[in-house]
Amino acid sequence: MAKKTCSVCGNECGFFNWSFELSEGFVCAKCLQETGKLGSIDVEELKKSSVEDILRMKDDFENSSKQIQSSQTTFQPTYEIDKLIKFDDVNQYLIASERRHIIYLPEHYKSVKYNQIRDFEYIEDGNTVKSSGVAGALAGGLLAGGLGFAIGALSRRGREKKFCKEMSVRIIYVEDDDYKFINIPFIDSSTKRGSSLYKHAQESAKKTLLKLQDIKSIKQDTPEQTDDKLDSVDELRKYKSLLDDGIITEDEFNLKKKEILGI
């Protein structure tokens, strides 16, 4: 059987560079990724697209990416995943988009400093594994092994379903003393399990989890003094309230105060 050739770049398609059918010819996964649509575009809709449509989407995506870079003057990405999330390890913050089906513009990205991150979750069709579970999976090697990775029982729950409707990584962070989150969608429409789109989404989610786990590990090794001070103030307020209510004595309060402040 003759190998398929990408009608956009002219390269051969195969196991490591999947192909997708167009109205005339085929487009490879690498070219589709350069449109920002890989993992989100509807295959049936893609069949109606022409080579000119793909080239236009590539240009639009490249131009919008340049806008993002020019607007983020202090942001220098050292690592990025599918244009959805970009990490700046030098300046210690990331930017991420919660949308897949649009042209990527600066206002569609949220920025989070590494020291604001409090937790992260992997979500697949409503089933969630928090960072502690993800960390356990990492330690157990469940995320190793390429595209076929699994996260404990979560993957086993989904195996009887032929289609995945949602796959995302949620980052929980603190801003202005309030908990917020970013939901990064790697799949947001019905996608056949085992398909190239599903496998690519899994691989991208895996890379994101590994990077977030690495950031969290570094944070634990070098705790933020600001957070420690805030925690100490909250603790003191709690015990002061107990003192005012007559639940503890002043001596007990002063003893706890010295313990919290380390004096």
How far apart are alpha carbons 122 and 132 in whole angstroms? Answer: 11
CA atoms within 13 A on the CB side of 179: 6
How far apart are alpha carbons 152 and 154 in whole angstroms? Answer: 5
Report pLDDT for 211.
92
Report pLDDT for 226.
47
Report pLDDT for 185.
92
Do residues 162 and 180 touch, judged by C-beta distance below 8 A? no
Report pLDDT for 153.
43
Report pLDDT for 150.
41
Report pLDDT for 141.
47
Q: Tell me: the pLDDT tens digits for 119-141?
A: 898 898 888 877 655 555 554 44
Report pLDDT for 145.
37
Do residues 165 and 121 touch, judged by C-beta distance below 8 A? no
Query: Taking Cα atoms as reference points, which of 164, 185, 167, 97 lies closest to residue 128?
Result: 167
Give pLDDT < 50 ranges for the chain.
139-156, 158, 225-226
Report pLDDT for 249.
84
